[in-house]
Structure 1
Amino acid sequence: MGSKAISKLSDGISQDLFEFAGYDEEEAKRAGYSNYSYWRSTWQVFIKNRVALVLLILMTTVLVFTLIQPYLPNQKLPTKIYIDESTGMQLSNHKPDSEFWFGTNSIGQDIWARIWSGTRTSLLIGLAVGFFEALVGITVGAMWGYIRPLDRPITEVYNVINNVPKTIILILLTYIMRPGLGTMIFAMCMTGWINMARFVRNLIIIIRDREYNLASKCLGTPTRRIITKNLLPYLVSVIMLRMALAIPLAIGYEVFLTYIGLGLPVSIPSLGNLINEGRLLMMAPSLRYQLIFPALVLSIITISFYVMGNVFSDAADPRNHV
């Protein structure tokens, strides 16, 4: 378009439609402002998955009820043996009714109370082992992967521990030490961090030599800050998945050790003890409720943690944020 045509076009436009924009320093600062929040975006992506949201509500309800159950009215003791008033004998294998909601076991103990007491015990084991595995595994794995002089000695320690089957270590520790809750947690913690450390180490090696990490190192950034600010945030999604799966895995090991006779004493209710007791009676159709109820609670916990862990892992990936 020629200059004459532009001049004619401008003559036909009212100057009242335009005004000079004033400079505002505060507004200029907000030009690059973003209200993006990593954890808020992660939560928003997570709740879009209806299945995971329902399981989160279900697990929250189970956890809260497990904690408050002993303080609710008309609750029975998990270790008390109840007597049949008409016979004066133990109320053995009493079927579920309005008084004993889940029935009684072979010596007259209330299965309802034992299930929730056992759930508290198993969740305590799972959470303790899971957090220990995350703390030690992530710390050792990050140093193992980033600090090159530590690679050889930690690798040798890993090879020694990893070449002995985990099940053998668990069995030996629980056999040598006095059976109890502390022994169970200690045995699992001694072996649980190995896989997490190896997993984190492999991921750290992949990203440790990227440009922004090399630039930080050249600028004199401390190693601790590079690991905590540059490396680990990049791995949040996969680390959270492993942490979520570590909890049901620890509960599964507790059930396994109890199944082979090296778990918690019978005097300490746990899901492993309850399932082991019910397993002996599953061939009798009228007594299968003693296996079904604890197995159902265990299935809800393990499936919920597995599904929520996978969904949260996807939600924690910044590439899925809007």
Structure 2
Amino acid sequence: MIKTKLDKMLNNIDESLFSFAEYDDSAAEKTGYSNYSYWQSTWQAFLKNRIAAFLLILMLLLVTFTIVQPYLPNQKSPIKIYTDEKTGIQLRNHPPDGEFWFGTNSIGQDLWSRIWSGTRTSLFIGVMVGVVEAFIGIFVGALWGYVRKLDRIITEIYNVFDNIPTTIVLVLLTYILRPSLSTLIFAMCATGWLKMARLIRNQIIIIRDREYNLASRCLGTPTGRIIIRNLLPYLVSIIMLKMALAIPEAIGSEVFLTYIGLGLPLDTPSLGNLINEGRVIMMVPSLRYQLIFPAAVLSVITISFYVMGNVFSDAADPKNHV
């Protein structure tokens, strides 16, 4: 009875409403396509934070200006001592005016040029230290966390270096070696990579035994390829955050070493030298500008990298990408 009803229903269907689909070999071989880009998604998430976007633009403008500043018209030398044309006396502690925009220091040097020259020097130190620390820290941390045979050896090396206060290492190296940019960078990198290596090691231990890594090892994938392709992409946000924070930290270390008299030579302008010079005369109200201007530039750089590093870390976190 049911079959009879179905037959009647099929007979009443208008066949003109239906047509057979033709088989296309090329269409059958097509696969799904997605225009998703990890870095594009990260960049879009970063720009959604207006404060971070503003600080990024500010830092780009600051870095660009520090590079082109010496080539702009009417710029003075940062190391030349200026004198009064009439009396021949050094223009010591000359207040800011139309000729010396930020005034002069205690020996008659133009503070405007010295601040931007010092900013170039300090940014160079910060970037170099951040890159070197990241390279050494990632390399050592990845081997430390993934290769079990190296765990005990690297752990002992880490304990030896970590138990020596960083301040003592900085002071000893800068005291023994000749004061220069390379000495300062070497002293900061001597123990600066330890934190990055420890962090990378701990993160790799968490994910090294996941199924896709076990499958790669079973297939004979080289260790280096597993680390680069399977492990490090998950740690991009952490690496970027540590690198961003290493730059202001290196600048702060340079200021500290200059404060105790072991920084760069006085003839090499840096934010550390400028702040140390301003600190000596900060109790004189009319001369506080010599501390305020370099301290303001240092504060802008430190705060900007700190905020941008945290925001970019959140934006680059694979957990926030679908």
TM-score range, shorter chain: over 0.9
Contact 1:52–1:308 (CA<8 Å) still a contact in 2? Answer: yes
The residue that corresponds to 2:193 in the other structure is 193
Specify the alignment match of 2:210 in structure 1: 210
Q: Provide the alpha-carbon RMSD of the alignment.
A: 1.8
Query: In structure 1, what residue type is equivalent to 2:228?
Result: T
| Structure-1 residue corresponding to 2:141 | 141
Q: Shift of residue 29 of structure 1?
A: 4.3
Partners of 1:23 and 1:303 lie apart in 2 by 62
Corresponding residue for 1:241? 241
Q: TM-score, normalised by structure 2?
A: 0.95
After superposition, the Cα gap between the structure-2 partners of 1:22 and 1:161, relative to the gap in structure 1 and judged at 3 Å, is: same
Structure 1 residues 138 and 93 mapped into 2: Cα distance closer, same or farther (>3 Å)? same
- Using a 3 Å threshold, how does the CA distance of structure 1 residues 7 and 138 change in structure 2: closer, same or farther? farther
What is the Cα deviation at residue 285 of structure 1? Answer: 1.2
Residue-by-residue CA offset, 1:41-61 (whole Å, 9 max, x unaligned): 111111111111111111001
Alignment length, in residue pairs?
Answer: 320
CA distance, structure 2, for counterparts of residue 30 and residue 62 of structure 1: 49
1:33 is the counterpart of 2:33: yes
Q: CA deviation at 1:62?
A: 0.6
Q: Name the CA shift for 1:27/1:160 in 2 (closer, same or farther; >3 Å).
A: same
Report if the CA contact (8 A) 1:45-1:321 is conserved.
Answer: no
The answer as to whether partners of 1:83 and 1:108 remain within 8 angstroms in 2 is yes
> 8 Å contact 1:66–1:120 — kept in the other structure?
yes
1:32 aligns to what SS in structure 2?
coil
Paired-residue identity, %: 72
> For 2:38 and 2:22, how far apart are their aligned partners in 1?
35
CA deviation vs aligned residue, 1:139-189 (integer Å, no higher than 9, x gap): 000001100111111111111111000000000000000111111011011
1:161 aligns with 2:172: no
Equivalent residue number for residue 75 of structure 1: 75
Aligned to 2:278: 278
Structure-2 separation of matches of 1:10 and 1:98: 98
Q: Is the 8 A contact 2:234 2:318 kept in 1?
A: no
Q: 1:244-285 CA deviation, whole Å, 9 max, x = no partner?
A: 111111011000100111111111000000001111111111
Secondary structure, in 3 states, of the residue corresponding to 1:155?
helix
How much has 1:137 moved relative to structure 2?
0.4
Equivalence for 1:174: 174
Per-residue deviation, residues 79-128 of structure 1 (Å, max 9, x unmatched): 00000123211101111111111111111100110001000100110011
> How much does 1:37 deviate?
1.0
- The 1:220–1:106 alpha-carbon spacing in structure 2 relative to 1, beyond 3 Å, is same
Q: How does 1:33-112 map to 2 (within 5 A)?
A: 33-112=33-112
Q: Distance in 1 between matches of 2:11 and 2:76?
A: 90
Which ranges of structure 2 fall in alignment gaps of 5 or more residues? none
* Partner of residue 254, structure 1: 254
- Secondary structure of 1:109's match? coil
Q: Within 2, Cα distance between the matches of 1:299 and 1:170? A: 23
Residue type of the alignment partner of 2:121: T
Distance 1:204-1:82 versus aligned 2 partners, 3 A rule: same
Give the residue type in structure 2 aligned to 1:255: V
Alpha carbons of structure 1 residues 91 and 317: separation in structure 2 relative to 1, 3 Å: same
- 1:55 counterpart letter in structure 2: L
Distance in 2, matches of 1:314 and 1:28, equals: 40
User: Matches of residues 10-25 of structure 1 in structure 2 within 5 Å?
Assistant: 11=12, 15-25=15-25
Counterpart residue number, 1:313: 313
